[in-house]
Amino acid sequence: MMAPEPLHTMSRRSTEILVGLFVMLGLVALVFVSLKAANLTTFGIGGDTYPLAARFDNIGGLKARAPVRSAGVVVGRITGISLDPKSFQGVVTMEIERGYQFPKDTSAKILTAGLLGDQYIGLEPGGEIDNLPPGATIKQTQSAVVLENLIGQFLFNKAAEAGSGTKP
C-alpha cells in the first residue's frame, strides 16, 4: 500500500495547476485581442450574405475586412479592393448580411471612425422601392477625404491670398 502524499506536495501541485490555468486564460485573452485588432472577431458575417460593389475615385486608407455600416450598425464587411484598369477607380467588394436589404438608390461613403481612426464604408439608404440585387454596383459614391489633401489645399489658398495682397 502506498503512503499518502505529504501535504506540501498536494498544495504545490494545486498551485501549479492554478498557474497553468491562469497562463492558458492569458493566452486566450491575447488571441482575442489580436483578432479584435485585425477586425476578425465578427465570425457571423460570411455565412448568409450577398455581394455588393462600389467604385471610388480615392479609397484612402480603406482595408479589406473593414466594416460596412448603416446608421452606425455593422451590416457587412469589405472582402476585396482592386483597381479597375480602364477607369482607374478603386473597386470595393463587400459582403452584406442577408437580413439587411438596401434600396437601389443607396449611396456609399468612405468615412473615418473618429479624427484619426480606421476607415469604413457607410451606406445611406435611398427612397427607391426596389432593392439592390446580389452582385449589384452602388452608383452613388463619395470618396475618402484625405487629410493631406485638405492641408495642402488650405496652405495653397493661404499662399495665394498672401501673394495677391488681399486680406480676409
Can you give the residue ranges of every domain in the chain? 49-151
Q: Which of 111, 125, 115 has its CA nearest to residue 78?
A: 111
Residue 55 pLDDT: 94
Q: Work out the angle at residue 136's Cα, subtended by the Cα atoms of residues 131 and 139, and round it to the nearest 5 degrees.
A: 90
Distances (CA, A) of 74 to 9, 16, 39, 82, 88: 53, 43, 12, 22, 28
Q: Which residues of the chain have pLDDT under 70?
A: 1-10, 36-47, 115-116, 146-148, 164-168
Residue 45 pLDDT: 47
* pTM (predicted TM-score): 0.64
Residue 151 pLDDT: 80
User: Which residue's C-alpha cell is 459614391?
Assistant: 141
